[in-house]
Amino acid sequence: MNRIDAKFRELRATGQKGFVAYICAGDPNLRATAQLARAFERVGVDVLELGVPFSDPLADGVVNQLAAERALRGGTTLRGVLKTVTSLRRGGLRVPIVFYVYYNVLHHYGLKEFVRDAAIAGVDGALALDLPPEEAGTYGTAMKRAGLHPIYLVAPTTPSERIGKIARHASGFIYYVSREGVTGMQKRLAPAVTSHVAMIRRHSKLPVAIGFGISNPSQARAAARAADAVVVGSAIVNQIAKHGKNRQMAPKVARFVGAMVRGVRRVR
């Protein structure tokens, strides 16, 4: 069973909500990424979302753009990220791993080669940000054949008919973008989140994870009440930027993440 499926089955069996942590792989370097992955697993992160750095991250706000710049300056490549995942799996890391990636990176690497190497490394799914379901036939088929989940976004502006089309292509979970625009920290959660998640659930039995803009424990709890899981990215990446040169960066960031994990766990 794919680790994502197993994790959401476990969460549902215990009546708990999930926590998905996003970081940009290679920020500030891949050794730090491995340290963060292990620290996040210890504090209870349910799914690790690794951003593959790209020079034109059109869906990302300034915090994640700067993280990608730092990673690229440090020489991070998709091949290097895959090697890091391989090493983590060999070291016993069990948390499901999803790649957050732009399709240009996959195209340059080679789709067939990426799917093969990702499966071998121990990746569980991928969210190709700029690949709509209508154009994803070859990608989606190859991913599913390899036992990997192609994950898709649903936006606040997505009409019901299109949600149904996206749901037919998606597997693993559906990522609901809680607000319009790019990634980034926000002061409050959009009020229509609950009704939009309900609309998604009319089309799919897959778990729904809410992301974009969630930046503190209270927002994480509010999002968890509406969905099956919460995705936090920019707020974590901001902590990495703040503590990146500190030898205690991984435990410091993990404490920040752990507080939000505990908040989500209290939601039933």
209 bridge partner residues:
175, 229
Range 131-136, long-range pairs (CB < 8 A, 24+ positions): 131/103, 133/165, 133/166, 133/168, 133/169, 133/170, 134/165, 136/169
Closest CA to 127 of 163, 86, 169: 169
DSSP letter (8 states) at residue 133: G
**Catalytic residue selected from 27, 41, 46, 49:** 49
pTM, 2 dp: 0.94
Annotation: CATH topology of 3-263: TIM Barrel (3.20.20)
Q: Is residue 139 a contact partner of residue 131, using CB atoms and an 8 Å limit?
A: yes
- pLDDT tens digits, 77-118: 999 999 999 999 999 999 999 999 999 999 999 999 999 999
Residue 49 appears among annotated catalytic residues: yes
Domain residue extents for the chain: 3-263
Q: What is the pLDDT of residues 239-265, one digit of tens each?
A: 999 998 889 999 999 999 999 999 999
Catalytic residue among 41, 46, 60, 228: 60
